[in-house]
Amino acid sequence: MGEAKKRGMAISLSDYTMGVGQGWSVDEVLRDNPDLQGSVLNADHKDADGGQELRWQLPAGTLAVSAYRLDGGNLVADSTTDLRRSLQDGALKWRAPAGRWRVVAVRADRVVPLLDPMHPRSGGAYASKFFGQFADRHPGEGGHGLNWFFSDELEFRVHGHLWTARFADEFRRRKGYDIVPELPALFMDTGPRTPKIRLDFSDVKVALTEEGFFKPVFEWHQQRGMIYGCDHGARGRNVVEFGDYFRTQRWN
């Protein structure tokens, strides 16, 4: 940087190899802040005929268990039965009413390592652990000798529907209803409400991701007069990267 300044120039740095699982800064963040790990939703189902008693030992992390009436292999709209009260010590015991039913169980599987961008401290921890090391060693050079950082192929290791412990409460506060019994709609068509549930889920997920990660990283640079650029994996061709590519990348 000193040599660059002699020539009227500045330097910039890329965060390449910053990805989760590469053994560098992000993994140090996760090691020091295990609460920044996250989970991904998965679903299983079993079918039952009317009068049949369904017994199902469900895995740890099960969030929702709902039954839907079937008609020729399709789920009947507005036939949802929330079976969470039929759970005891992780085991479902339920006698199906008349007809044929599909019971769907949705669980949150912990993924390690995974950086949860919805966590309110994720962006701050990320900025401090990497960008902050350079800023601390060169105070006052932000926007001058050190003028910008570049994010290359950012990867949280989130493949699927991201879930964290606070999501249900945040969803209820923002959307006014309980998402948990509706979670099967993320995996199958449960009727006319399916598009609304999926859109609402995505909206809250992306809002929390902006608030937790992308906006704090932007503000860190903005406060120091620095530019933050990016060249992420799909280069904008995957519009659902990070939940909503353009909504999240407006902070870069």
pLDDT tens-digit series, residues 172-215 = 999 999 999 999 999 999 989 999 999 999 999 999 999 999 99
Mean pLDDT, residues 147-161 taken together: 87
**Residue 17's pLDDT band (cuts 50, 70, 90):** low
Q: What percent of the chain has pLDDT over 70?
A: 99
Q: What is the pTM of this model?
A: 0.91
What SS3 state is found at 25? helix
DSSP structure class, residue 142: B
Q: What is the pLDDT of residues 116-136, one digit of tens each?
A: 999 999 999 999 988 999 999
Is 100's pLDDT higher than 80?
yes
pLDDT tens for 24-57 read: 788 888 899 999 998 999 999 999 999 999 999 9
Each residue's pLDDT tens digit, 102-118: 999 999 999 888 899 99
Task: Please state, in angstroms and rounded to a whole number, the distance separating the CA atoms of residues 117 and 86.
Answer: 34
Q: Residue 145: left (phi > 0), alpha (psi -120 to 50), or beta?
A: alpha
What tokens were used for 56?
């199902």
In this predicted structure, the answer to whether residue 159 has a pLDDT above a threshold of 90 is: no
User: What average pLDDT does the chain have?
Assistant: 92
